[in-house]
């Protein structure tokens, strides 16, 4: 009977976790062993509180036990390299863009795409949402902070790519996220949903936007950056724990005093979020509109392992494609 309960509730496999304490963990958003193994002790203690005699020391012990249940260990570089080679990629719809990304949007990594309005950021979310289930399997989760996403557009892209539109949207889950606190809470409690629904690809459109709305001015810059950093950390944990690909879109900042002698678009109109976003993303794509309708220049402005390159892409009825 006890083994059956542990099979139903993986939290009961952890040392000292009773059904009552497992309920308290779930109430705080911890539904899986992975969600506890990747947590920071003082955050775990803050969210659980002193229920049933819980304290910081017990939080540290619980996290150690959770980590021992997972395959978390120091590995030789050769073995890590072999694991990196096994990571899958989602095609972007443009072979040229896939080329500069080393194959596409990669699992266990954060890919950021930034640029001004109408340059193709949301179109990239739509296109990859259609293509991801065909390449990774599993399902897609899209978090919408701007209330602009359209299921009709996802169906149109699928149809134009000769994919059954009903089947395409059956793999997509969406949630409107009205505030930065809601976005953070969603990421904190996402473990259960990701595991139950087999989410292999998460897209957030747009990631920094709610923080930008709610923390204006220099006097709020420090708390804003701390909260963005915390949310990015949650995304990294989720991507690695569930072998999931993550794409975030980002807005850019108008800089009237910019020096136009530079040709780098990220200097003329830098992505918002500052260094926190720059350090958090594995690959950063900057989309720069051109004087041709629906045509943008995609530049890999930063990567942890790929060189800076640029390609031209186009927005069509099929979503993102190569520009002829």
Q: Which of 64-78, 140-154, 257-271 has the highest mean pLDDT?
A: 140-154
Could you tell me what percentage of the chain is helix, strand and coil, using 3-state DSSP and rounding each to the nearest 5?
A: 50, 20, 30
* pLDDT for residue 226 is more than 70: yes
Question: What DSSP line would sit under 134-168, residue for residue?
Answer: HHH-SEEEEEESSS---HHHHHHHHHHTT--HHHH
**Residue boundaries of the structural domains of the chain:** 2-69, 81-322
Share of the chain above pLDDT 70, in %: 95
* pLDDT for residue 40 is more than 90: no
Which pLDDT tens digit goes with each residue over 177-208?
A: 999 999 999 998 898 899 899 999 999 999 99
Share of the chain above pLDDT 90, in %: 63
Q: How far is CA 44 from CA 35, 37, 61, in A?
A: 10, 10, 11
* pLDDT for residue 1 is more than 50: no
Q: What integer pLDDT is reported at residue 5 of this predicted model?
A: 46
* Cβ contacts of 78 within 8 Å, gap of 6 or more: none
Q: What integer pLDDT is reported at residue 258 of this predicted model?
A: 55
* pLDDT for residue 219 is more than 70: yes
Q: What integer pLDDT is reported at residue 227 of this predicted model?
A: 93
pTM for the whole thing? 0.84
Q: What integer pLDDT is reported at residue 8 of this predicted model?
A: 67
* pLDDT for residue 262 is more than 70: no
Looking at the chain, which runs of residues are DSSP E strands?
89-90, 105-106, 110-115, 139-144, 172-176, 199-205, 245-250, 283-289, 295-303, 310-316, 319-322
Q: What integer pLDDT is reported at residue 80 of this predicted model?
A: 85
Residue listed under structure tokens 């992975």: 34
* pLDDT for residue 9 is more than 90: no
Q: What integer pLDDT is reported at residue 298 of this predicted model?
A: 96
**Mean pLDDT on 112-132:** 95
- Under the banding of pLDDT at 50, 70 and 90, the label for residue 259 is low
* pLDDT for residue 4 is more than 60: no
Buried b (16+ CB within 10 A) or exposed e, 168-180: bbebbeeeebeeb
* pLDDT for residue 261 is more than 70: no
Is 81-322 in CATH node 3.20.20.220?
Answer: no
Contact 79, 289 (CB under 8 A): no
Question: In CATH, what is the architecture of 2-69?
Answer: Orthogonal Bundle (1.10)
Contact 219, 213 (CB under 8 A): no
Q: Across-strand partners of 204? A: 143, 248
Q: What is the mean pLDDT of the chain?
A: 90
Q: What is the chain's alpha carbon radius of gyration, rounded to the nearest angstrom?
A: 21
Looking at 52-197, which runs of residues are DSSP E strands?
89-90, 105-106, 110-115, 139-144, 172-176
Strands 319-322 and 310-316: antiparallel
Phi, psi of 203 (to 5 degrees): -125, 140
């Amino acid at each position: 009977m006890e083994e059956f309960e542990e099979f139903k509730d993986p939290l009961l496999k952890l040392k000292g976790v009773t059904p009552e304490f497992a309920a308290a963990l779930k109430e705080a958003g911890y539904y899986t062993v992975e969600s506890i193994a990747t947590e920071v002790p003082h955050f775990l203690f803050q969210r659980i509180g002193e229920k049933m005699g819980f304290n910081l020391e017990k939080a540290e012990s619980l996290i150690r036990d959770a980590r021992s249940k997972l395959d978390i260990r120091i590995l030789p570089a050769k073995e890590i390299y072999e694991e990196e080679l096994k990571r899958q990629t989602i095609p972007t719809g443009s072979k040229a863009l896939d080329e500069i990304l080393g194959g596409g949007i990669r699992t266990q990594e954060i890919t950021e795409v930034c640029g001004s309005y109408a340059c193709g950021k949301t179109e990239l979310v739509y296109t990859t949402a259609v293509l991801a289930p065909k390449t990774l399997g599993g399902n897609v989760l899209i978090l919408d902070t701007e209330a602009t996403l359209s299921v009709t557009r996802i169906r149109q892209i699928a149809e134009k790519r000769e994919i059954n539109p009903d089947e395409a949207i059956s793999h997509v889950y969406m949630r409107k996220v009205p505030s930065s606190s809601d976005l953070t809470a969603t990421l904190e409690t996402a473990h259960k949903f990701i595991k139950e629904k087999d989410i292999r690809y998460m897209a957030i459109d747009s990631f920094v936007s709610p923080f930008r709305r709610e923390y204006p001015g220099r006097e709020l810059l420090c708390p804003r950056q701390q909260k963005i950093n915390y949310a990015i950390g949650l995304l990294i944990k989720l991507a690695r724990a569930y072998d999931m690909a993550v794409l975030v879109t980002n807005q850019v900042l108008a800089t009237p005093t910019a020096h136009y002698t530079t040709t780098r678009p990220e200097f003329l109109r830098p992505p918002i979020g500052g260094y926190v976003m720059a350090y958090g993303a594995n690959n950063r794509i900057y989309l720069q509109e051109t004087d041709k309708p629906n045509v943008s220049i995609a530049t890999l402005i930063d990567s942890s392992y790929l060189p800076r390159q640029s390609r031209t892409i186009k927005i069509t009825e099929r979503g993102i494609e190569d520009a002829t």
